[in-house]
Amino acid sequence: MIYLDNAATSFPKPESVFRGMDAFARASAANPGRSGHRRAVEAEAMIDETRRLLARLFGFSHPERLVFTLNATDALNMAIKGILRAGDHVITSVLEHNSVSRPLNQMEKAGFITLTRLPAGGDHTIDPDDLAKAFNPSTRLIALTHASNVTGTIQAIEAIGTMVRERDAFFLVDASQSAGVVPIDFEKECIDLLAFTGHKGLLGPTGTGGLVVGERVEVAPWREGGTGGDSSSPVQPSEFPHRLEGGTPNVFGIAGLREGARLLLERSVENVLTHERFLIGELFNSLENPRAFSWYGADCVIAERKGDGRIGLVGINLPGFSPAELAAILDERYDIAVRAGLHCAPYAHKHLGTFPDGFVRFSAGILTTAEDVRQAASALNEIIKG
Ligand SMILES: Cc1ncc(COP(=O)(O)O)c(C=O)c1O
């Protein structure tokens, strides 16, 4: 199988991730912090080490304020619902995944908040000037994706974060597509809340993710329960990470995520990004007639600028085939896994003019090889010839 759907979830996982989960499940597997015995202490130490590794990866100096969640959706809901108050104004963009758009749309529909959805420019980025104009005295939160899962473009989050900080609002970054792929510096980029998923670029298993909570921001817990610490308290403890981590965590998953974070720190995120960009360029360059396809996210950037400003994904359509048909042919005839459709980001496809059918997305990962993308290009060359 040729797997080019890493933006949905990374596959395969590195061997060290499989081994780390297996070893942890066999040797320890206790409930962290719930009991005083050695295995429970080991489980807690493993989780804390993962917090420290991820905090290092994100340039964040308070690992205890990195809380584990089920995925990015969980983290984004936790952030959005834990910080907004009645009457707040929120700024977001057309590039967002439904895990940002839907909770915000629902709150707007309920009359709880007001919402501004910024357009993206022809280069699929958010113009900081548009953002500046959208502020009003009630603006409390700016919620933006770092790298779009549809256009593949990376936003200028440092410029945006600085502007948000100057205006005393909070900056929530959806790093689902960028964590482990694009360098992130939480402090320098003036981020207040960073939501990430563990199963994409961070190379962990599904069921892992987290929210990094900066010191300026208060997030009310929306899941309360056992934390293993002070059980006598009638309410959720206020200290991190317990404040936002009610319930037994996904210990096996986090054991895998720890290995993903170790590997990324070893190889460096910059190298991963270079590798994935190269692969998308290689896909483009291996096509006999790339102009026969419609390219979304700027083919000239891929060909001429080596993918600068983008992550390693690209969307295409082929006239005469619906995206679903093209993806099905790639799967059934060539055993190539890609993703067709709207990618849970309908506003982004409206921005591109590909709504409602979407396009076929090819996304590379750390373990994708040049041969994988050449074979995908060769399948596309054959499909064109009929
Ligand atoms: C930009 C973006 N945000 C959020 C998510 C949600 O991630 P998860 O399904 O792991 O919660 C995704 C997943 O595709 C995504 O690409």
Average pLDDT of the residues in 335-345? 97
CA of 85 to the centre of ligand 1 (A): 25
* Cα 98 to ligand 1 centroid, rounded to whole Å: 8
Q: How far is the C-alpha of 371 from the C-alpha of 207, rounded, in Å?
A: 30
Q: Which residue has the higher pLDDT, 30 or 303?
A: 30
Substitution site in 77, 92, 149 for ligand 1 pocket (most atoms within 8 Å of beta carbon): 149
Nearest Cα residue to 346 out of 183, 122, 149, 187: 149
pLDDT at 101: 98
Among 99, 126, 146, 178, the mutation site with the greatest number of ligand 1 atoms within 8 A of its Cβ is: 99
Q: Which residue type does 270 have?
A: E
307 pLDDT higher than 90: no
- In this predicted model, what pLDDT tens digit does every residue of 111-167 receive, in sequence order? 999 999 999 998 899 999 999 999 999 999 999 999 999 999 999 999 999 999 999
Q: Tokens standing for 10?
A: 């990374």
Q: Are the C-beta atoms of 349 and 17 separated by less than 8 Å?
A: no
Q: Is the pLDDT of residue 350 over 90?
A: yes
Q: What is the pLDDT confidence band of residue 37, given thresholds at 50, 70 and 90?
A: confident
What torsion, rounded to 10 degrees, do the Cα atoms 119, 123, 129, 130 define? Answer: 0
Give the pLDDT score at 6: 98
Is residue 285 within 8 A of residue 263, CB to CB? The reply is no
Q: Give the Å distance between the CA of 277 and the centre of ligand 1.
A: 20
Cα 27 to Cα 22, 44, 258, 334: the distances in Å are 9, 14, 16, 41
Residue 299 has pLDDT above 80, yes or no: no
Phi-psi region for residue 187, left (φ > 0), alpha (ψ -120 to 50) or beta?
alpha
Residue 109 vs residues 33, 65, 213: alpha-carbon distances, Å: 41, 31, 27
User: At residue 83, what is the residue type?
Assistant: I
Q: What is the mean pLDDT of the chain?
A: 94
Q: Is the dihedral of CA 178, 179, 182, 186 positive or negative?
A: positive
When pLDDT is cut at 50, 70 and 90, the band that residue 300 belongs to is: low
Q: Which atom of ligand 1 is nearest to the CA of 343?
A: 14
Please give the Cα distance from 221 to 190 (Å, whole number). 23
Residues enclosing ligand 1, CB less than 6 A?
Answer: 71-73, 97, 99, 145, 149, 174, 176-177, 197, 209, 344
Contacts of 252 (CB under 8 A, 6+ apart): 21, 24, 25, 29, 205
At residue 109, the pLDDT reads 98
Q: How does residue 221 score in pLDDT terms, banded at 50, 70 and 90? A: very high
Quote the pLDDT of residue 302.
Answer: 66
**pLDDT exceeds cutoff 90 at 65:** yes
Q: What is the 3-state secondary structure (H, E, C) of 288-339?
A: CCHHHCEEECCHHHHHHCCCCCECCEEEEECCCCCHHHHHHHHHHHHCEECE
For a ligand 1 pocket test, name from 154, 173, 344 the mutation site with the most ligand atoms within 8 angstroms of its C-beta.
344
> What is the torsional sign of CA 113, 114, 117, 118?
negative
